[in-house]
Chain A
Amino acid sequence: MRWAAGYFFVAPALLLIAVFFVFPVFSAFLLSFTDFDIYSLGNIEYLRFVGIDNYINLFGNSRFWTALGNTFYFVAVGGPLSVLVSLGAALLINSKLVRLKTLFRTVYFLPVVTTLVAVAVMWRYLYHPRYGLLNFALSGIGIEPIDWLGDPFWAMPAIILMAAWKNFGYNMIIFLAGLQSIPDSLYEAARVDGANRWHQFRYVTLPMLAPTFLFVGIITMIGYFQLFAEPYVMTQGGPSNATLSVVLFMYEEGFRWWNLGNAAAIAFVLFVIILAVTLLQLRLQRER
């Protein structure tokens, strides 16, 4: 009886997940071996099975490598930056010397709940080389105007900065939870042993936060690999493909040009990369 009940309770959700998530994943895999495109959409006779040609073409396509490079840049620089800012903010707020914790926490967290598209639109204007607030502020400390979104060198840093601004609050909360779960007795013991602030941080806080780091690292990384709305709204992948991300490339192939076969191959490459990096992180953690 209770067995049946268990199935009854999980069935609706599992069914939906199976039909609208698991099945599409397998279909996408099959799709990536065809040249399904807009012609095939009109007439299925125009569909060819092409084996691994899509993957071969992809690896021979310089735009794909650019997209991949940009995405790694974003993940490798933007991810750690955002995590470090989160940790810094959490440490500051968690300090025993600070009052008004709720105020700081709330304001820091505010960008997280805002709509990505809306703030990306806003940052477009903040980054304006001549009228933007950011360059104006920088000119106050003697920095020449930077063409944030128009210069291929600066466009990705601009998106990284914006992403850090938007996201750090989320991880900050998780770090706060981690910090609060460290028992005071550990710090007391350290103090008794004569540890200064730095040593307490280095030998108590950091090791105790290790599981939090792992979790934060993985979710941030998975999220950052899926970069899409920022470049879609702010730069359309430009200038000179400097902000073209893998997902944006997939979107263009799939939903702008309707080369669904190609797009599916791109999606799968992304999947494999995310999987590999996740496993790597778990592995590193375990070895430690």
Chain B
Amino acid sequence: MIQPTIRSICFALLILLCGCDGEIKDKVTIDFWAFGREGEAVQELVRDFEAEHPHIRVRVQQIPWSAAHEKLLTAYAGDAMPDLFQLGNTWLPEFVALGAVAEFGPWVRDDPDIDDDTFFAGVAATNVIDGVVYGLPWYVDTRLVFYRSDMLEKAGFKTFPGTWSAWREVMERVKESVGPDKYAIFLPVEDWTIPTILAMQQGASLLADEDRYGAFDDPRFREAFDFYLGLFRDGLAPSSGGSQVANLYQEFSNGYFAMFVSGPWNIGELKHRLPGKEHLWATAPMPAPDGAAAKGGGVDGATPGVSLAGGASLAIHDGSEHKDEAWLLIRYLSGTEQQERFHHLTGNLPARKDSWIASGLDKEPRTRAFWRQLQQMAPTPPIPEWERIARTIGRYTEATVRNTMTVDEALASLDEDVDRMLEKRRWLLARDQ
């Protein structure tokens, strides 16, 4: 009895010690983290990349979007960063501040395939911090409206409105036509994106004094917030939250609601999950606040309201020993042809404009709405604390939607919380001066 026990202990320890699978000597292995469906789809592109570069092996790890930010920070904290990783472009300032991402300067400058007009300007700008390039856009993401054209038509509308007041009217009519059990729009209750977009459309700066303090008591933010809350208060959106909606696509298909505001990946999801119903839904750019165009001299509703300059970028870990190989893969993935393929695999929209034109995305009605929206983008404040601030906005939005706080209380607490989060930033800025 004794001997086998010892042997099995030794055996277990041996396996533990050699837990890492042996690397093949003459090959370079790079670790690549990608999120959500992208992580699954990119494997196909990576296989072809490996075929072109036989000395490089790429290990792709798929991480759910919901845990992505957390995992990246944990990996940073634990010295376990991958060589190459996808990240939400709003997170870049955070990882730059930590010194976790490598500068792209020389590579980008020397690349014949990349110039100032290659990517959408609003998105490209989010990858530059203090004049230094740290990431390359992989795909673009912004938010706009998905709607059931048949339900709008039934309520008497053939086109999608371009201003807040017209939008609101459409929602009211739709709600009248669908009855008490169904809704005009679905809005997640704990969401920061839509209130933030609406506030940016109003011209709110979100933060003040070189992003040292919160600026949520700004009347423009307040106005946007009121508009958003009004949709719940007046029964246009279900206020019970996401848990009622087991499957967004199924409920959209059932006509439980007629609109939702979300990103490009839904085009693919809707096509895939609602086969045969493609004629029933459409996309439209975000409506703009009333009177906004007048300030710019145009016609209300002619240009979309701004939306988030979102998207995913690819970045390289500053401590990576295989930066050159990682850059090769980034270049490969952001080439015109691979961008198109990636779009077909995932439905994500290419960051390269020439890929749009080559595949006719700028003409196709559903993506055309995105094409227009992508010309009207605004970035969120480029500071490391942004992700946390964004979540806090979401939390206070939820508190007001659920009536556990008044708008005044919520915005005051939001400012207070954000000021506290920015304390270290203020100290660091003062220290470095």
Interface contact B398-A239, CB-CB below 8 Å: yes
The answer to whether residues A150 and B243 also contact, given A39-B97, A39-B428, A239-B190 and a CB cut-off of 8 A, is yes
**A216 at interface, CB cutoff 8 A:** no
Interface contact B404-A129, CB-CB below 8 Å: no
Interface contact B404-A240, CB-CB below 8 Å: yes
Q: Which of B73, B97, B246 contacts A131 (CB 8 A)?
A: B246
Interface contact B424-A258, CB-CB below 8 Å: no
**A255 at interface, CB cutoff 8 A:** yes
The answer to whether residues A128 and B246 also contact, given A150-B240, A151-B240, A238-B190 and a CB cut-off of 8 A, is yes
| CB within 8 Å: A-B pair count | 70
**A57 at interface, CB cutoff 8 A:** yes
Interface contact A57-B420, CB-CB below 8 Å: yes
Complex CA–CA separation, A46 to B426 (angstroms): 12
**A230 at interface, CB cutoff 8 A:** no
Complex CA–CA separation, A39 to B244 (angstroms): 40
Interface contact B246-A130, CB-CB below 8 Å: yes
Interface contact B189-A239, CB-CB below 8 Å: yes
B43 to chain A, nearest CB (A): 26
Interface contact A38-B98, CB-CB below 8 Å: yes
CB neighbors of A among B53-78 (8 A): 69-70, 73-74, 76-77
Main secondary structure of the interface of B (DSSP, over half): helix
Complex CA–CA separation, A42 to B98 (angstroms): 6
* Contact flags A34-70 to B (C-beta < 8 A → 1, else 0): 0101110111001010000000010000100000000
Interface contact A241-B395, CB-CB below 8 Å: yes
Q: Which of A41, A43, A128, A241 contacts B77 (CB 8 A)?
A: A41
Interface contact B241-A239, CB-CB below 8 Å: yes
Interface contact B244-A130, CB-CB below 8 Å: yes
**B399 at interface, CB cutoff 8 A:** yes
**A2 at interface, CB cutoff 8 A:** no
Give the residues in chain A near B399, CB-CB below 8 Å. 240
Interface contact B70-A256, CB-CB below 8 Å: yes
CB neighbors of B among A213-259 (8 A): 238-241, 255-258
Give the residues in chain A near B398, CB-CB below 8 Å. 238-240
**A178 at interface, CB cutoff 8 A:** no
Give the residues in chain A near B233, CB-CB below 8 Å. none
Q: How many positions in chain B have a CB within 8 Å of any CB in the partner chain?
A: 31
Interface contact B244-A129, CB-CB below 8 Å: yes
**B413 at interface, CB cutoff 8 A:** yes
Interface residues on chain A, size class = 20 to 34
Interface contact B413-A62, CB-CB below 8 Å: yes
Interface contact B243-A149, CB-CB below 8 Å: yes
Interface contact A256-B244, CB-CB below 8 Å: no
CB neighbors of B among A127-160 (8 A): 128-131, 147-152
Interface contact A258-B73, CB-CB below 8 Å: yes
B344 to chain A, nearest CB (A): 33
Main secondary structure of the interface of A (DSSP, over half): loop
Interface contact B242-A150, CB-CB below 8 Å: yes
Interface contact B74-A147, CB-CB below 8 Å: no
Give the residues in chain A near B424, CB-CB below 8 Å. 35, 37, 39, 46
**B203 at interface, CB cutoff 8 A:** no
B69, B100, B246: residue with the most chain A Cβ atoms closer than 10 Å: B246
CB neighbors of A among B194-223 (8 A): none
Complex CA–CA separation, A103 to B98 (angstroms): 58
**B273 at interface, CB cutoff 8 A:** no
Give the residues in chain B near A130, CB-CB below 8 Å. 244, 246
Specify the chain A residue showing the minimal Cβ separation from B190: A238
Give the residues in chain A near B246, CB-CB below 8 Å. 128, 130-131
Specify the chain B residue showing the minimal Cβ separation from A57: B420
Complex CA–CA separation, A34 to B228 (angstroms): 40
Complex CA–CA separation, A128 to B428 (angstroms): 47
B401 to chain A, nearest CB (A): 9
Interface contact A240-B243, CB-CB below 8 Å: no
Give the residues in chain B near A39, CB-CB below 8 Å. 97-98, 424, 428
Give the residues in chain B near A46, CB-CB below 8 Å. 424, 428
B392 to chain A, nearest CB (A): 10
**B363 at interface, CB cutoff 8 A:** no
B212 to chain A, nearest CB (A): 15
A39, A148, A238, A240: residue with the most chain B Cβ atoms closer than 10 Å: A240
Interface contact A147-B99, CB-CB below 8 Å: no
A159 to chain B, nearest CB (A): 14
Complex CA–CA separation, A256 to B91 (angstroms): 14
Complex CA–CA separation, A241 to B424 (angstroms): 26
A75 to chain B, nearest CB (A): 23
Interface contact B74-A255, CB-CB below 8 Å: yes
Specify the chain B residue showing the minimal Cβ separation from A152: B402
* Contact flags B136-161 to A (C-beta < 8 A → 1, else 0): 00000000000000000000000000
* Contact flags B396-415 to A (C-beta < 8 A → 1, else 0): 00110010100000000100
Q: Can you identify 6 A-B contacts, CB atoms within 8 angstroms?
A: A42-B100, A147-B244, A150-B243, A151-B240, A152-B402, A240-B398
Closest 10 CB pairs of A and B: A150-B243, A150-B241, A42-B98, A256-B70, A149-B243, A240-B402, A150-B240, A41-B77, A239-B241, A147-B240
Q: A37-B424, A128-B246, A240-B402 are in contact. List 14 more A-B contacts (CB 8 A).
A: A38-B76, A38-B94, A39-B98, A42-B97, A42-B99, A48-B427, A129-B240, A130-B246, A147-B243, A238-B398, A239-B398, A256-B69, A256-B70, A258-B77
